[in-house]
Amino acid sequence: MPGALRLYLDFASPYSYFALRPLARLAEEHGRALELRPILLWAVFKQQGVVNPLEKPARRRYFLEDVIRSAEFFGLPFRIPEPLQISAHLAGRLYHAWTATRPQDGLRLASEIFEAFFAKGEEITDPAVLAALPCLADETPETVRAMIDGSEGRQRLGEAVDEACAANIIGVPFMTLDGESFFGADRLPQIAWRLQHPRTA
């Protein structure tokens, strides 16, 4: 059976937002399962001793230019968040708690979190915003808050961060396929090519 395509993402990362749906389409087209691993990139960088690259003015200027261009390229609605950088730990905990029993709904939940933040400009650091996501319509705000604050989401998010560090990820989106690694939304063409031409060794 073909191995899964794994995606490490951060809900605060516009490039993760850009890559999610195209990667899901590639996985479906080639009969591969898509495994989503929401993480906190800042927590990975902290473990790795990496300084936040956007602290450098030149990198920050390029980033602001590139995300607008990239959103247009991928045909996605996009607003530059304010503040620019957040910790998406509440969204990450919610994702991991929700999908513990509903793995089939992970893509929908991830997509709705990204759309709330990057398309609608909503504050995903607010539990009320997360509770209002369409796929959670059957849940009470109290149930959603319990998932955010509960031990399962916290533990699974922490495990995903540790897994990402062990996988030596260098940023997000970071994809692994049949033992090979790909970094960045601009690697989607290479992933498509690799799916068509699997490694023989």
Paired strand residues for 161 = none
Quick one: which of 84, 88, 86, 87 has its CA closest to 60? 84
Average pLDDT in the chain: 96
Instruction: State yes or no: pLDDT of 89 exceeds 70.
Output: yes
Determine, yes or no, domain membership for 39. Answer: yes
CA distance readout (Å), 84 to 46, 76, 80, 118, 171: 19, 18, 7, 11, 17
Reported confidence tier of residue 201, pLDDT bands at 50, 70, 90? low
- Domain of 73? 5-196
Instruction: State yes or no: pLDDT of 101 exceeds 90.
Output: yes
Determine, yes or no, domain membership for 147. Answer: yes
Cα angle: 182, vertex 183, 188; to 5 degrees: 65
Determine, yes or no, domain membership for 99. Answer: yes
Determine, yes or no, domain membership for 201. Answer: no
Determine, yes or no, domain membership for 16. Answer: yes
- How does pLDDT run across 21-46, given as a tens digit for each residue? 999 999 999 999 999 999 999 999 99
Concerning whether 87 is annotated as a catalytic residue, the answer is no
Please indicate whether residue 1 or residue 82 has the higher confidence score (pLDDT). Answer: 82
Q: Mean per-residue pLDDT for 118-142?
A: 97
Helices and strands (DSSP H and E) totals, the chain: 9, 4
Q: What is the CATH number of the domain that holds 125?
A: 3.40.30.10
Q: What is the pLDDT of residue 2?
A: 84
Paired strand residues for 182 = 175
Instruction: State yes or no: pLDDT of 191 exceeds 70.
Output: yes
Domain count, the chain: 1
Determine, yes or no, domain membership for 182. Answer: yes
Are 14 and 78 in contact, with CB atoms under 8 Å apart? yes
Determine, yes or no, domain membership for 119. Answer: yes
Determine, yes or no, domain membership for 25. Answer: yes
Reported confidence tier of residue 1, pLDDT bands at 50, 70, 90? low
Structure tokens at 150: 């509960």
Q: What is the pLDDT of residue 200?
A: 77
Q: In the chain, what's the furthest Cα-to-Cα distance?
A: 51
Select which of 13, 16, 87, 151 is catalytic: 13
